[in-house]
Structure 1
């Protein structure tokens, strides 16, 4: 039996401690559960929980992050469900709470991610492994030297309309650590933006995330064409597809983020040409 407050301030009471049947509705935290060696305990995941790949193939899926299958979750008889304030729907989380304890994360920066890792480690009786992971992550980020030149950027997460990220998001914190200056950091959450606005903000690089909208090469080319037609008097910023997992996943995927940021920084900061 264990009890404490999660990151939303909600009291979580778990009758079975450690929990023996866990459902995760958060892709990045599903991978964390794998890193904490909860192979047998995790019985359900979402269709977006692609890491680890063998869990994606073998674990029962319970819908998506925004359209969880409540009946399927209940049928698994979990004693703990992992959710996220941002990624999951409040009404669905409340429906799950009627029959199962729910741990809900609320992560806006790297420190919040460390706290979630520690809390989930404590909940699942994997505190030692969680602390080991946190120490490794802290060491990795400590070795990521501050950029000598921060590039002014817009980070796009959605197409038609274009949507970006504000200063109160985890992605913004990762952009800063990666060596970028988010020109929309004074905005909140996920503001819409158009080409004229981007042009007015003196942007040096536009980053196209691989998620939640899966930007591809053709989307960069479409923006370049539209820019030349609508704003021919201004030079086109650098354009780059980026791995959205490195900027938005806050579990053990963070182990790969700092090396990715180093390589991205080098490829952009040393280039004088359009990179696509």
Structure 2
């Protein structure tokens, strides 16, 4: 059966439904597909799609999110490719669109993420499973927001994602929205991922500095270095997946963020 869908960039695709040969180009969306109950339908993924590890090990790796192996993708003959505007390179996606149905997400907030879960659920014939995941995510984040208010958690935070140069998560990012939902105010006013020098960061006077475990793998030595330059801030290494993965990982993120809030009171 042929069915048409419109992705989050407004592009319409027509696929053989339900799809049986799916390639996922984004780690969080790959994990979502498996958590929706798909298995053999996912034939290809990127080298960063590490969850769940046993599924990752058994699938063809089609390159990195920003450097796809287009010839390998062609050889797999997918009947659906699922990507994301921010994660994947536009030129490569547009080339794939000439040959295959490509569905793209575009996510900035938790509400966007929940909409994506529903849309991907419909796309792969797993709507009830997607609705249940959203039920868990909605309930969990409602509780997180209530907890932040009850405990008066209102701290200024800088969220570092990269080193050399230092880069932060700014406004119009999924990370910024997750911070706000947990009572944390982003000191960065610029959009997307601006570069910053540490002395400039000190001038923004954050209460907290989060060093993300990904995409740059910040370690204890980096924490000590930044503590020496920002002595008035509490510097914490955080699990980047819990702030930036916008699929079913959000269910696990709830418990992580509950504990983080408690640690910050």
TM-score normalised to structure 1 length: 0.92
1:11-30 correspondence to structure 2 within 5 Å: 11-14=12-15, 16-30=16-30
The alpha-carbon deviation at position 198 of structure 1 amounts to 1.5
Structure 2: how far apart are the matches of 1:259 and 1:51?
A: 18
Q: Which residue of structure 1 lines up, in the alignment, with residue 242 of structure 2?
A: 246
Partner of 1:230: none
1:29-65: CA deviation from partner (whole Å, max 9, x where unpaired): 0000001111010000100001011011111100000
Tell me how far 1:215 sits from its aligned partner.
0.5
Equivalent residue, structure 2, for 1:123:
123
5+ long unaligned stretches in structure 2: none
> C-alpha separation between the residues in 2 aligned to 1:7 and 1:37?
23
Q: Structure 2 matches for 1:64-103, cutoff 5 A?
A: 64-103=64-103
- How far apart are the structure 2 equivalents of 1:220 and 1:25? 32
Q: Deviations over 1:131-157 (max 9, x none)?
A: 111111111112212521211010000
Q: Distance in 2 between matches of 1:235 and 1:78?
A: 52
Q: Helix, strand or coil for the counterpart of 2:162?
A: coil
Show the counterpart of 2:218. Answer: 215
Map of 2:261 onto structure 1 = 265
State the alpha-carbon separation in 2 of the partners of residues 138 and 265 from structure 1.
18
Report matched runs for 1:171-210 at 5 Å.
171-184=175-188, 186-210=189-213
Partner of 1:151: 155
The structural deviation recorded for 1:96 is 1.0
What is the CA-CA distance between 1:8 and the residue it aligns to? 1.1
TM-score by length of 2: 0.95
> What residue ranges of structure 1 are gaps of 5+ in the alignment?
228-233, 270-276
Task: Report if the CA contact (8 A) 2:5-2:123 is conserved.
Answer: no
Question: Do the aligned partners of 2:226 and 2:235 also contact (CA within 8 Å) in 1?
Answer: no
Residue in 1 that maps onto 2:107: 107
Name which of structure 1's ranges 196-205 and 65-74 shifts more when overlaid on structure 2: 196-205
In structure 2, what is the equivalent of residue 54 of structure 1? 54
State the Cα deviation string for residues 215-268 of structure 1 (Å, max 9, x = none).
11111122234x1xxxxxx73311100000000000000001121111112112
The question of whether the paired residues in 1 share the 8 Å contact of 2:227 and 2:234 is answered with no
Q: Deviations over 1:177-216 (max 9, x none)?
A: 12211111x3110011122222211211110000110111
Structure 1 distance, partners of 2:240, 2:182, is: 13
**Distance of 2:205 and 2:132 partners within structure 1:** 42
